[in-house]
Each structure stands twice: as C-alpha cells, then as structure tokens.
Amino acid sequence: MDEEPLTLTLSGAAADKLRRLSEASGHDPATYVGVMLEEHFAEDMAEIAELKRRIESADAGNVVSHDEARDQLRRAIAEAARDAAE
C-alpha cells in the first residue's frame, strides 16, 4: 500500500482522547488515525455504492408514488401497534 504523509492538528477533546487511547494501548497516535480513516473511507464508499444502486433502481422505474409510500407506512405503523398491543 502506498503511504502519503499527512500532518494533522487536533485540539480539545479529540486530541485528549487520541492521547489517552495511545497511552493505554501502547500504539502510536498515527496508527489509530490511519485505522480510523480507513474505516471511515470504507463506510463512505459503501454508502456511495448504495446510493448509486438506489438511483439506478429509481431510474429503472422501481419507485412508488408518494401516496402509495404513505399508505405502506400507515399500514406498517398500524401493524406494529397491533403487535405491541398483543
């Protein structure tokens, strides 16, 4: 994996949390920041892929009208209320 140097300035609670985490674990702060960024990037990429999938689905005509969506929601709420009452 290629590495890219990065300078980061943290202040306040974030800096304190990173310092305490590093001290408690014995790992350097750069390791944690790198891992956190990788996880965040993976989450963002998954979200983007899901949004693209939904847009493609809508473009293909897989949509419901506002009225149908409202009716589906009302039915689901009524069913959940019935289940909760049992």
pLDDT at position 77: 97
pLDDT in tens, 45-83: 999 999 999 999 999 999 999 999 999 999 999 999 999
Q: Name the residue among 4, 85, 78 with its Cα closest to residue 38.
A: 4
Q: What is the mean pLDDT of residues 25-44?
A: 91
Predicted local confidence at residue 3, as pLDDT? 82
Residue 22 near residue 32 (C-beta atoms within 8 A): yes
Q: Which amino acid is at 19?
A: R
For residue 1, what pLDDT is reported? 63
Going by C-alpha positions, the residue among 5, 2, 35, 1 that lies closest to residue 18 is 35
CB 37 within 8 A of CB 6: no
pLDDT tens, residue by residue, 1-24: 688 888 889 989 999 999 999 999
43 has a pLDDT exceeding 80 = yes
Radius of gyration of the chain (CA): 23
